[in-house]
Structure 1
């Protein structure tokens, strides 16, 4: 969940309009270009079984000055408790975003808070008027459907967008407002920005109970399935039989950014032999971060790290895994690159929505001098040359060592790069890899609806203790496992990750979630029995 710490220091004085039907909800619209924000002015309202608003001019926010720069058309319909908005904004400048503002929503339901399908049971956003923001696509809003109030007495707000585009829900009560204001912002793809913006259908379903909300979520998911080609888990062609029976992911940490080696390839093979004594190895997937040498420092150059044993050592690890029946999944950077390692980075680096500067995902302090490293950038898999580089790098590992899967780091993060759509790059990347290697499993960090259509397996962002309120939003289509940063048995080392030490949470069986155990240099010498116990637990609770 993202919080924005900037806001208007004045009342935008938006005119609010009625909705048809008995809901009592009122609404306003704001339109944004790259140079300013605008409210509605000069509106003509027609009411009946629907409300239609036409405005032939805008006003700068605050309504101090009118601007004849375009027009706005909004139609709101009411059908059996469902309000639906159709919004078309035209402006002389390209439209960057359109915001629908709502007020008059039931106060008791607002105080009870908001929840999404991936919100944990027994928890809600914005309880008792606390300000919050959700952004789709992202870890806390995995599909643009959200409910407010208790499940047996609430309302549902959703967006039916056939494309992957940013939707933002922001709820707050500014000092000039007498009640909470609910903002729903639609952000067009930067590369398709136009002087006309047609906002996808926005739906507000009033007076829901648990059955009605569930039915609306299923209807929403049916729309998403058609829009993004989501296929049920049981019917996915990109899920081999071995993945359906995988009960444990073993994270074998390789080499840290600093050069510290947690496990050589010989030690990784020994760890797999130990694991195979406590769980059927055919039910184990070995995940290899830092196998290419210095983690993140070497990105995006992907060959077995010489300090770990090089090609020969990796080949022996692969032979051991095959003999045992364990599947291997090395990690690749879906975005990450060291500018020193990839001189052509500027062609592919992610850019902001106006294409004026470089977007950074994060800047870890890998060596703990308390300053973030300076050469880490994030590249767009939509850029053809970088995408081809990833395809060739992964294909070489399949060809030379017979790896069974490839994990793509950070691709769950979405960027509005105007040159190449990130989701399109992901689709092209995976399509080419599956054309070359039909049986290769592709996994990703993080998940949301359209991403689950591309990757059948992901690392869970939320943590192992997140009991999804509506798990079918995940389990109907895909599976998750623990994140790279899940602490190892004992002190909780996160291995090659930048989090340092994080106590390992207790194992809890969750629908669609594959347990994980991490192994660093101190794990088996000191905590072998705990690892064995985790293996036995996974064998009992995993799919048979």
Structure 2
């Protein structure tokens, strides 16, 4: 992940080129596996063979950042103008493999000082107000699709693949005005010495950002084969009636049991006295034993009641009309539980070392645990393990859905393309179990095309600025770590205690209530009230 607080300690002295008729100026930087470069100012020449509205540049040499020395390499950049519509097409080359390309924009309209926002930015919020430094990264929780607006300006990256896009806006000490940087990262699995950046579109004097987003999403629909919610064939009909997700916390990493399977069954009996059972989806984190500790071994936890206990819970759920959704780790694994972990573990972008990611302090010794790694479902062996694990639980216990933890995170793995792995995983499970609901933690444009239900990222406001970026395709619900009624326990999650937010109607958002160890004994009335509220207010 790029570090927002890392920066150059000198002026890179990039040559900037004007956009005639505007105050905008632009520059390009190129990053290889060995260094960073700008265009060589002395070698940059206007395009001499393009149409009259092409204000691009051809450059046959590069310069190391700072322009002290020149380097082999070059760039062919076309800038096409159609009215208020600008489109950059950037082709670069260097003897070393290209890892990223940056388009820098300065001379931005004064209206951008009011802040930047993406389609999934919370309503009433903006990034970079009055020139404050910020960064958005796609795909990720704050940038669900690479489109952004500021004042009467919009920017769209038209990438047919899922690749890292970064928007970084700041005003360094050497600059007289803010600089907007659009960074495109080449896939680590296919780095070459020549590279073409997907088209970058900028429109100014935009009066209706919603219409511009619709144009961007039309491209995204085609690129990622997105299907509107009403026409999706991977949405079981029962999901369209779900009004409440009930998180039944099982066993914590430490071994502490928050709910046994019989206790979960009793919770469902209580809740369905206040909401129709067919409108409830029961989500089971920590059902497999010690949460995360036993990943990726997926059998019913013995301390919770074992296979017999899960069979009984599934029978109770069917009797009540409730659907069951156990949780699986989309990436997480304990190296002691999965001996073949090194074959699938995420590697850094140059394939030189293991990326150690997401190491929570599960036992509160104030240090991250040592045996947790993240594995890539793009690797065939781990993907097969997930398919067989989920398939066995579906076949044996008749569960209705499978939830995949952490799949909203994206990694530039040099060995296996991640999104292709997600698609293959989903395709095989649906082939084996037609009608099985697949859900994910987190969402972004292409991911919503694979998983029709997701958990909203924890800590991100659910009131999206332009919710159609989600609701046109999928539905979301509260995160695993949304606090339970009462003290706000986050159950098996590492967040400890977090106050439960009030229930508010949100487009495409299904309410959630968590059940920990003390929830029903001490807060049954509040749980009942939440269930009744959901029956009346949840979206269909």
Q: Which TM-score tier does this pair reach, normalised by the shorter chain?
A: over 0.9
CA distance, structure 2, for counterparts of residue 268 and residue 461 of structure 1:
25
- Quote how far apart the aligned CAs of 1:462 are: 5.0
Are positions 1:341 and 2:340 aligned together?
no
- TM-score using structure 2 length: 0.98
- Conservation of the 8 A alpha-carbon contact between 1:463 and 1:482: no
Q: Given the alignment, which residue of 273, 280, 288 partners 2:276?
A: 280
Structure 2: 5+ residue stretches without partners: none
Greater shift, 48-57 or 391-400, is seen at 48-57
Given that 2:112 and 2:153 are in contact with CA atoms closer than 8 Å, whether structure 1 keeps it comes out as no
Residue 147 in 1 paired to residue 149 in 2?
Answer: yes
**1:255-270 to 2 correspondences below 5 Å:** 255-270=251-266
Mapped to 1, the partners of 2:235 and 2:307 lie a distance apart of 28
Give the length in aligned residue pairs. Answer: 535
Structure 1 position 185 matched with structure 2 position 183: yes
Look up the SS of the partner of 1:49 in the other structure: coil
Q: Tell me whether 1:116 sits opposite 2:151 in the alignment.
A: no
Given that 1:465 and 1:508 are in contact with CA atoms closer than 8 Å, whether structure 2 keeps it comes out as no
Partner residue, 1:25: 24
Structure 1 regions of 5+ residues with no counterpart?
A: none
Q: What's the CA shift string for 1:378-404, capped at 9, x where partnerless?
A: 000000010000000000011100000
Structure 2 SS opposite 1:493: coil
Confirm or deny: 8 A CA contact 1:475 1:512 kept in the other structure.
Answer: yes
Partner residue, 1:65: 69
2:304 maps to: 308
The alignment partner of 1:251 has SS state of strand
Counterpart of 2:7 in structure 1 is: 7
The equivalences for 1:79-94 within 5 A come to 79-94=82-97
**Cα pair distance change 1:465/1:216, threshold 3 Å:** closer
User: RMSD in angstroms over aligned alpha carbons?
Assistant: 1.1
Query: Counterpart of 2:44?
Result: 43
Write out per-residue CA displacement over residues 439-471 of structure 1, whole angstroms, 9 at most, x where no aligned residue: 100000000000000000000015474310100
In 1, Cα distance between equivalents of 2:146 and 2:350 = 25
Do the aligned residues in 2 keep the contact of 1:464 with 1:482 (CA within 8 Å)?
no
Q: Which residue of 1 aligns with 2:129?
A: 127
Q: Aligned partners of 2:247, 2:494: CA distance in 1, in Å?
A: 15
Whole-angstrom distance in 2 between the partners of 1:464 and 1:159: 23
Note the C-alpha offset of 1:230: 0.4
Matches within 5 A, 1:311-460: 311-460=307-456
Distance 1:275 1:540 in 2: 15
Aligned to 1:270, the other structure's residue is in SS state helix
SS at match of 1:425: helix
The CA deviation string for residues 305-330 of structure 1, in whole angstroms up to 9 with x for no partner, is 00000000000000000010000000
Structure 1 residue 337, shift from structure 2 partner: 0.2
Between the aligned partners of 2:82 and 2:460, the Cα distance in structure 1 is: 41
| Rounded Cα–Cα distance in structure 2 between residues aligned with 1:120 and 1:13 | 36
Q: How far apart are 1:516 and its partner, in Å?
A: 0.2
